Amino acid sequence: MFSGTALVEGLRQRLEEVHGRMAAACRRSGRASDAVTLVAVTKSVSAQVAAVLHRLGVVELGESRPQELWRKAAALPPTVHWHLVGHLQRNKIDRTLPLIQLIHSVDSLRLLDALDQEAVKQDRNISVLLEVNASEEAQKHGFAAGEISALLPHLQRLQKVRLAGLMTMAAQVADPQDCRPTFAALHALTERVAVPPPHDLHHLSMGMSNDFEVAIEEGATIVRLGTVLFEGIPGDRP
Ligand SMILES: *Cc1c(COP(=O)(O)O)cnc(C)c1O
């Protein structure tokens, strides 16, 4: 059963643990502890639970489905910065654009162009990351790592969309150390390719509950965490 105090205390404790693990990974790799931003992915919990986490100080919240993001954005205070981390269908761009801080999951040039067109129409600037299918699994969305440099000239056509980095999901593996080469390769890619300004590849969104410490050690600037924050926490489900 839902118990308000247990929920708040449970989340507070989880958050403390996660921040501690993030800070330790930063220390191990000689990075400043504020070099990495936590995006709490709230797809497995209700708006109420997400709101409690926000009251505990988490500003950056993420959803993988646009409709669920619309629903939670309507229920939570406007102080939340929303991140879309999953696939965006073009017919959902118009409603999603006004709500979000960052789209992590631009997975085609068609989507990039459609976003820019709508951003011009709404006279709104939007930052995006390109999703790289670094593990090259067929069922995943995203560009192959080898495609990224070839699509950079295309960025000069964009008026309102600004590229701010890359995102990836590592393969599901039992030992997170196995994700290290994937993360390291993506980091190396951001340093290798020249990006036409005002675009840049500053952000690396990589690392989920299973592998975020390895991702931080390999240069992640954003980790996207759900399970490690919410699994087993008292409270309802969406
Ligand atoms: C669900 C999801 C996450 C969070 O995953 P956990 O393993 O629960 O931490 C991160 N990124 C994306 C794209 C997701 O869909």
pLDDT digits (tens, 9 = 90+) for 95-143: 999 999 999 999 999 999 999 999 999 999 999 999 999 877 766 789 9
Q: Is the CB of 201 under 6 A from ligand 1?
A: no
Residue 235: what pLDDT? Answer: 60
Residue percentage of the chain with pLDDT more than 90:
87
Does residue 186 register a pLDDT over 80? yes
Q: Count CB-CB contacts under 10 A for residue 178.
A: 15
CA distance 206 to 224: 7
Mean pLDDT along residues 160-178:
94
Mean pLDDT computed over 157-179: 94
> Which residue puts its alpha carbon closest to atom 13 of ligand 1?
85
- pTM (2 d.p.): 0.95
Pocket test for ligand 1, best of 18, 37, 72, 85 (most atoms within 8 A of CB): 85
Q: Which residues contact 230 (CB under 8 A, 6 or more apart)?
A: 14, 42, 44, 45, 49
Choose the residue to mutate in 137, 208, 210, 212 for probing ligand 1, maximizing ligand atoms within 8 Å of C-beta: 208
To which H or E segment does residue 151 belong?
Answer: helix 148-151
- What is the C-alpha to C-alpha distance for residues 165 and 203, in angstroms, rounded to an integer? 4
**b/e code 129-163 from CB counts within 10 Å (16+ = b):** bbbbbbbeeeeebbbebeebeeebeebeebebbbb
pLDDT in the model for residue 1 = 41
Cis peptide before 153 (omega within 30 of 0): no
**Which atom of ligand 1 is found nearest the CA of 209?**
9
Q: What is the helix (H) or strand (E) element at residue 231, kind and residue range?
A: none
Please tell me the distance between residue 30's alpha carbon and the centre of ligand 1 in angstroms.
26
pLDDT at 120: 98
Task: At 83, give phi and psi (nearest 5°).
Answer: -120, 130
The residue assigned the tokens 């759900």 is 226
Strand pairing class (60-63; 100-106): unpaired
Q: How many CB atoms lie within 10 A of CB 68?
A: 15
The rounded distance, in Å, linking the Cα atoms of 61 and 59 is: 6
The C-alpha atoms of residue 139 and residue 30 are separated, in whole angstroms, by 35
Q: Check whether 236 has a pLDDT greater than 90.
A: no
Would the pLDDT of 82 be above 70?
Answer: yes
Ligand 1 close to Cβ of residue 203 (< 6 A): no
Q: Ligand 1: distance of its center to the CA of 153 in Å?
A: 31
The pick from 45, 49, 64 for probing ligand 1's pocket by mutation, whose C-beta has the most ligand atoms within 8 angstroms, reads 64
Helix (H, G, I), strand (E, B) or coil at 42: coil
